[in-house]
Structure 1
Amino acid sequence: MKEKRKYPRAEIDEPAYVSSGGSVMRCVVRNISREGAAIDVDNPAFVPPRFRLVMAKDPSIVHECRVAWIQKNRVGLTFMSSDMGS
């Protein structure tokens, strides 16, 4: 299968949180790159289309995300640019 990503993904295993509208759900980041990530969640039905991914080790690291795909309990994310025009 041909690699379609612009940036290589780093395989990691770090706890994080899906945060949206005041609700928070635990997840595990399985891989990450400059453009996106893949996370594992208990129930992907509760993952909103857009949310913030907050890293548990360093809560100052926050990514604005949108869901790109879902396969079983794994969710692929695309990071959205937070610096709109600046």
Structure 2
Amino acid sequence: MDEHRIATRHRVLKAGKIEFGGGAIDCTVRNISATGAALDVGSPLGIPAQFTLVTDGNHLPCRVVWRKEKRIGVTFDQKP
């Protein structure tokens, strides 16, 4: 499979939160780079196109670039 990412992603297994509209959804960060991440979620339904990912004390503005059954891919609106 061809790699189309700008930055190499690193496998991780970290707890995170998807924050939007005053609420939050738990997620697991499966891989991360300086430009984006893949997140495991219970369901991608109801998760907006833009939100803040909170992990390791960082608040990272994100934009969803793809969705699968229980995983979403995001790009960071600014570098972490």
TMscore range, shorter length: over 0.9
Displaced runs of 4 or more, over 6 A: none
Higher strand share: 2
Amino acid at match of 2:66: W
Question: CA–CA distance in 2 between the matches of 1:43 and 1:71?
Answer: 9
Deviations 1:25-63 (A, max 9, x none): 0000000001100000001002111000001xx32x111
Query: How many pairs does the alignment contain?
Result: 79
Superposed counterparts of 1:36-47, under 5 Å: 36-47=36-47
Name the larger-Rg structure.
1
Superposed counterparts of 1:1-86, under 5 Å: 1-55=1-55, 58-59=56-57, 61-81=58-78
* Runs (5+) with no aligned partner, structure 2: none
* Runs (5+) with no aligned partner, structure 1: none
Identity of aligned residues (%): 39
Question: CA–CA distance in 1 between the matches of 2:25 and 2:68?
Answer: 18
Amino acid at match of 2:13: D
Deviation at 1:81, TM superposition (A): 2.2
TM-score, scaled to structure 1: 0.87
